[in-house]
C-alpha cells in the first residue's frame, strides 16, 4: 500500500512477513502490480518488436524485468556535512524566485 498510515504499515508488514521479510521475493510475487520492476513501461515482449535489434536491448530488458542496481560508495560524514552546508548556503534554485514573483502577482 502506498500510504503514510498505520493501516498501510501493518498491511505492508504482513505482506513482507508472508515472504520471510525478503523484499525481493515480495516484489517478484507482485508481477502484475505497479511495484513490479519496469511496471511503468510496456511489457518487454512488446518493446522487443521495436528494440530487439538495438545493441543494448538485452541490458535494457534485464533492467525492465529484474530492476537496476547502482553501485554506491559510502559517503564519509565529513563530506556529507560539507554537502549539506553547501546546499543550505546555496539556497533554492533561482527559478523559484520567478515562481514566487508570479504567485505574488496573482
- How would you write the pLDDT of the chain (106 residues) with one tens digit per residue? 888 899 999 999 999 999 999 988 998 888 778 777 777 788 899 999 999 999 999 999 999 888 888 888 899 999 999 999 998 888 877 766 665 556 566 5
Cell numbers of 13, please?
508488514
Instruction: Please indicate, yes or no, if residue 20 is contained in any of the structural domains.
Output: yes
Angle between helices 44-51 and 57-66 (to 10 degrees): 170
- How many domains are there within the chain? 1
Instruction: Please indicate, yes or no, if residue 14 is contained in any of the structural domains.
Output: yes
Instruction: Please indicate, yes or no, if residue 42 is contained in any of the structural domains.
Output: no
Instruction: Please indicate, yes or no, if residue 26 is contained in any of the structural domains.
Output: yes
Domain membership of residue 21 as a residue range: 1-33
Give the C-alpha separation, 21 to 30, whole Å.
14
**pTM given for the model:** 0.44
Instruction: Please indicate, yes or no, if residue 2 is contained in any of the structural domains.
Output: yes
Instruction: Please indicate, yes or no, if residue 76 is contained in any of the structural domains.
Output: no
Amino acid at each position: 500500500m502506498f500510504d503514510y498510515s498505520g493501516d498501510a504499515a501493518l498491511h505492508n508488514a504482513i505482506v513482507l512477513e508472508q515472504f520471510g521479510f525478503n523484499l525481493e521475493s515480495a516484489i517478484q510475487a507482485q508481477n502484475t502490480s505497479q511495484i513490479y520492476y519496469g511496471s511503468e513501461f510496456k511489457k518487454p515482449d512488446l518493446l522487443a518488436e521495436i528494440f530487439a535489434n538495438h545493441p543494448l536491448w538485452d541490458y535494457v530488458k534485464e533492467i525492465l524485468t529484474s530492476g537496476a542496481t547502482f553501485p554506491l560508495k559510502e559517503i564519509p560524514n565529513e563530506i556529507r556535512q560539507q554537502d549539506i552546508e553547501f546546499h543550505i548556503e546555496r539556497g533554492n534554485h533561482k527559478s523559484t524566485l520567478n515562481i514566487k514573483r508570479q504567485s505574488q502577482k496573482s
